[in-house]
């Protein structure tokens, strides 16, 4: 009889814990997420008409001279699969990392960036960062201006409009979301 009573207690405890952890705990978190952060909670997808262009919170590759370039990624941004957060895990003396950074530096110098901002050379810790520094965006203005036939002043204003301040006024650094910047650039000068 004790075994039956203990099994019944275990089942009741399992049901109570399941109710707490699967229903009662997630519901307030869902409400807070939807109420305070609906854009992030719903996937932050950017759409033009009915076409989904990607998430504003995940980096996208841009190779054309007509666009502002993102920071390099240790993973392929758009492989058709959902991106998996993954740093390169290469140490600072690793020859593969040194080779990749040297090649990126040479490519940027050919594009006219003689002293590129670090975020144009180094990938982020997650490999998915959609942002670059305002300095990295400003360094690209001449190239984009020539390719789009827009004035550098127009592009500086565009970069300023897309510069996000520190989170809560004190966390992180000012940053520019490359995807949203390039989408507005396409609307401005297709």
Question: CA triplet 149, 113, 123: central angle to 5 degrees?
Answer: 110
Phi, psi of 160 (to 5 degrees): -60, -40
Q: Are 132 and 142 in contact (CB under 8 A)?
A: no
| Least reliable range by pLDDT among 12-16, 88-92, 93-97, 179-183 | 88-92
- Nearest residue to 97 (alpha-carbon basis) of 87, 107, 110, 84: 87
Tens-digit pLDDT profile for residues 46-56:
655 555 556 77
Q: Are 130 and 178 in contact (CB under 8 A)?
A: yes
pTM: predicted TM-score of the whole model, two decimal places: 0.71
Domain regions of the chain by residue span: 1-42, 44-188
Q: Which of 107-121, 124-138, 143-157, 160-174 has the highest mean pLDDT?
A: 143-157
Query: What rounded mean pLDDT belongs to the chain?
Result: 84
Q: Are 119 and 49 in contact (CB under 8 A)?
A: no
pLDDT at 66: 93
State the alpha helices, DSSP H only, in 95-151.
Answer: 95-110, 134-139, 141-148
pLDDT at 141: 95
Question: CA triplet 84, 183, 102: central angle to 5 degrees?
Answer: 55
Alpha carbons 146 and 39: distance in angstroms, whole number: 34
Tens-digit pLDDT profile for residues 39-85:
666 666 665 555 555 677 777 788 889 999 988 877 665 555 555 55
pLDDT at 47: 57
Cα–Cα distances (Å) from 169 to 69, 131, 155, 174, in that order, read 26, 17, 25, 10
């Amino acid at each position: 009889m004790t075994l039956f009573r203990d099994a019944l207690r275990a089942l009741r405890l399992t049901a109570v814990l399941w109710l707490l952890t699967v229903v009662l705990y997630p519901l307030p978190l869902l409400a807070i997420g939807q109420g305070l952060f609906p854009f992030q909670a719903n996937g932050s997808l950017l759409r033009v008409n009915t076409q989904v262009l990607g998430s504003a919170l995940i980096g996208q590759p841009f190779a054309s001279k007509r666009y502002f370039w993102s920071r390099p990624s240790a993973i392929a941004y758009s492989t058709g699969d959902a991106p998996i957060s993954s740093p390169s895990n290469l140490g600072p003396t690793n020859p593969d990392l040194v080779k990749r950074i040297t090649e990126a530096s040479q490519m940027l110098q050919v594009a006219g960036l003689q002293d590129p901002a670090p975020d144009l050379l180094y990938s982020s810790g997650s490999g998915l960062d959609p942002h670059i520094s305002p300095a990295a965006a400003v360094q690209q203005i001449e190239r984009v201006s020539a390719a789009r036939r827009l004035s550098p002043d127009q592009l500086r204003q565009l970069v300023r409009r897309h510069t996000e301040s520190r989170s809560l006024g004190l966390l992180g650094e000012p940053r520019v979301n490359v995807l949203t910047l390039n989408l507005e650039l396409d609307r401005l000068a297709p």
